Amino acid sequence: MKLHRAAMILGFVVLGLIWSSVANAEQHQHALGTTEAGANTPMADEQPPASTSGGSPAVSNSNPAASTMQMSSHAPVVFTLRTGIAEGRMVFIGDGGEIDRKVNPTLMVHDGETVQINLINGEGAQHDVVIDQYAARSAIVTGKNASSTFSFVASKVGEFDYYCSVPGHRQAGMQGLLQVMPGNRAEMGATATDITRDPADLPPPIGARQPRIVRVDLETVELKGQLDDKTSYTYWTFNGKVPGPFVRVRVGDTVEVHLKNPEESLMIHSVDFHGAIGPGGGAEFTQTDPGSEAVVTFKALEPGIFVYHCATPSVPTHISNGMYGLLLVEPEGGLPQVDREFYVMQGEIYTVQPFGTPGDQELDYEKLLDQRPEYFLFNGSVGALTRTHPLYANVGDSVRIFFGVGGPNFTSSFHVIGEIFDHAYVLGSVTSPPLTGVQTVSVPPGGATIIDFKIHRGGRYTLVDHALSRLERGLVGFLDVDGPRDDAIMYKGPAK
């Protein structure tokens, strides 16, 4: 029997890849966002009018949408197990990340998280995965490379066995441990600097004023930042955050950009504004050595929402490392007023090691050229808009999201699960009538859009790229809405 079983599972090969995503957002009180001093500073005596639009006011701790017990099937913690043989016995082998190549690895999660387990058949015998305490199980996979996926909410703290229920397989060694720890993952200590841009961190609307000179101060900061749990990466940034500061002017303004590259930098940097007309969008005049400063001035001739990014070779390297942001050129009189504004950008990171691998990660240039990113991200890091800076609003609010794609390579199909965009400014044009009643907007790399919607019901709304496999590479955000949740718009149960 042992020889027969061994013959069945010859040829097993361990491959590395884990899809590990984010935990539920931590319930907390969220203060008003702030912008770096001097990032977007008028050079005239008149200051922009105060406005209730933009920023993110504090939210009551009673917000039910932020409950750590609420399931969010759009933000699972994902483990991949591959069946195989090790030390003469049948086992599960971890595939990628912290469990990579580990035999019957311990799967560590936190109370209240949604857990997804991917099972891959490594050798062609029948297998499944079962966790009795959660009444959770995969389908039986038979053929080599066949797979099955299942998910559940880790609502019980403790240690629980996972195992293969095919007769004899558990006894032959196919058993591991699921460890559910108390507390929220967001409380875990960071290993590097938080580079995430708070989506509420943007200047208020300009409104009605005459054109003037506006000074914009950008500093190119190279730093080690938090990419994922226990994972860091050397980012190149504008002003220490990803994306760079939200630059807001009005049509007709004269924009004076000061780009400073600190002496401790290793790289030359520059900036190309897609909303500027002239050589390289300003990049030709801003190639700045470490320890130097460059100045470029341009006239904001066309209203719209525009990407800016570093344009120093290798340009895709600088962009992927985090050097991108948005420039809003408001039309005369400004945009229609809303209650809340948010700033979100999507990008990719190409690391040598697979997604979720702990430690300091480095850029893989071949993956960058081949367009094979390990990470898809909102605002620079895994969990940026879930654990670190989720969006907050109240029922009845009108919400505006300025959304752009730094890229450098992939188009986004931006979607908010559970909402419909009342207005979508296609390709960032604010001079054309916006589309109405839109479900998803397509935004190319180097492109941007503006979407508005009214919130009618409390709960959690999830920001995604509807190329949904990217969710399991880190691309997800939360909009938590405080207010009534059981109303005529949607409720659990049959029609009343």
Annotated binding residue 310: yes
Query: Dihedral angle at the C-alpha atoms of 82, 87, 90, 92, nearest 10 degrees?
Result: -30
CA atoms within 13 A on the CB side of 217: 9
Annotated binding residue 69: no
Fill in the amino acid letter for 200. A
Residues sharing a CB contact under 8 Å with residue 469, sequence separation 6 or more, in sequence order: none
The answer to whether 83 and 166 have CB atoms below 8 angstroms apart is: no
Name the DSSP class of 349.
E
Annotated binding residue 466: yes
| DSSP E strands, 300-371 | 304-309, 324-330, 340-349, 359-361
Annotated binding residue 30: no
Residues sharing a CB contact under 8 Å with residue 391, sequence separation 6 or more, in sequence order: 56, 199, 200, 342, 385, 463, 477, 478, 479, 480
Annotated binding residue 274: yes
Task: Report the C-alpha gap between 220 and 212 in whole angstroms.
Answer: 26
| DSSP E strands, 350-421 | 359-361, 375-378, 391-394, 398-407, 412-417
Annotated binding residue 164: no
Instruction: Give the rounded distance of the alpha carbon of 69 from its chain centre.
Output: 22
> Is the dihedral angle over the CA atoms 456, 460, 463, 467 positive or is it negative?
negative
Neighbours of 120 (CB within 10 A): 22
Cα–Cα nearest to 259, from 248, 267, 268, 270: 270
Task: Report the C-alpha gap between 231 and 381 in whole angstroms.
Answer: 10
Annotated binding residue 415: no
Cα–Cα nearest to 394, from 462, 456, 478: 456
Q: What 3-state DSSP class applies to 112? A: coil
Please give the annotated binding residues for Cu cation, written as ranges. Answer: 269, 274, 309-310, 318, 323, 466
Please give the annotated binding residues, written as ranges. Answer: 269, 274, 309-310, 318, 323, 466
